[in-house]
Chains A and B, each alone.
Chain A
Amino acid sequence: DAGITQSPRHKVTETGTPVTLRCHQTENHRYMYWYRQDPGHGLRLIHYSYGVKDTDKGEVSDGYSVSRSKTEDFLLTLESATSSQTSVYFCAISERKGQFPYEQYFGPGTRLTVT
């Protein structure tokens, strides 16, 4: 199994509070991703990183920011949590393999509830 951990695994927070989720990898992979999973929507990309301090937006980035100061850590921050951000959040890592991207390996997920 790829060495990916997410913390916390569960969190309940109130609307308007800031929340930071952490993804930690031990595989030294260059690419890291944050997704959210919601019923009827599958997995949707929030932000991704292609190197230390190099990040870009995904398809549902509004209300989220990220930072990557070390290869192994990728942080997702909800500056002011809203109920629509209640979801399960997954981190993934990947590496390049020749012409094609390598498969993504996922962490165990963080269940976030915003009340």
Chain B
Amino acid sequence: DQQVKQNSPSLSVQEGRISILNCDYTNSMFDYFLWYKKYPAEGPTFLISISSIKDKNEDGRFTVFLNKSAKHLSLHIVPSQPGDSAVYFCAASASTSGTYKYIFGTGTRLKVLA
């Protein structure tokens, strides 16, 4: 039973346009969410986070939206750049569990076309 799902394995976007990466979760106890970017042969790099007390968080070109009722979050990248081409993972955690564990999605490969 996959608690965090990224249903789109890949996405292609033109340079300068918006990239939207989606993530769904099933566990209503999840209250903290992260997005990571991963280049080949490197470890994942933290991008942006959001807690359940917010519905939006921005950091430069990256914005994460959280819809708690739909158990859905999305990462928007505007404008998309060729250097954004990577695999993106979402991750979720339940702070009340006290374990500080994250469950990761399977990732979405983003390709930004020049």
Interface residues of A (CB under 8 A from B): 4, 31, 33, 35, 40-45, 48, 50, 56, 58-59, 90, 92, 94, 96, 99-101, 103-109
Contacts and interface: CB of A to CB of B under 8 A. Distances in A.
B65 interface: no
Contacts, number: 62
A90 B101 contact: no
Interface residues of B, number: 26
Interface residues of chain A: helix, strand, loop or mixed (majority): strand
Nearest to B51: A100
Interface of B: 6, 31-32, 34, 36, 41-46, 49, 51, 89, 91, 93, 95, 99-107
Give the top 3 A-B pairs by smallest Cβ distance, nearest first: A106-B43, A101-B100, A42-B106
Contacts of B99: 48, 50, 56
A58 B102 CA distance: 10
A101 B42 contact: no
Given A90-B43, A99-B95, A43 B100 contact: no
B95 A42 contact: no
Contacts of B107: 42
Contacts of A59: 103
Given A56-B99, A90-B43, A103 B104 contact: no
Contacts of A43: 44, 89, 91, 104
Given A99-B95, A101-B95, 16 more contacts: A4-B43, A33-B101, A35-B104, A42-B105, A42-B107, A43-B44, A45-B102, A45-B103, A56-B99, A96-B100, A100-B31, A101-B32, A103-B46, A104-B46, A106-B45, A109-B42
Nearest to B42: A108
Contacts of A33: 101
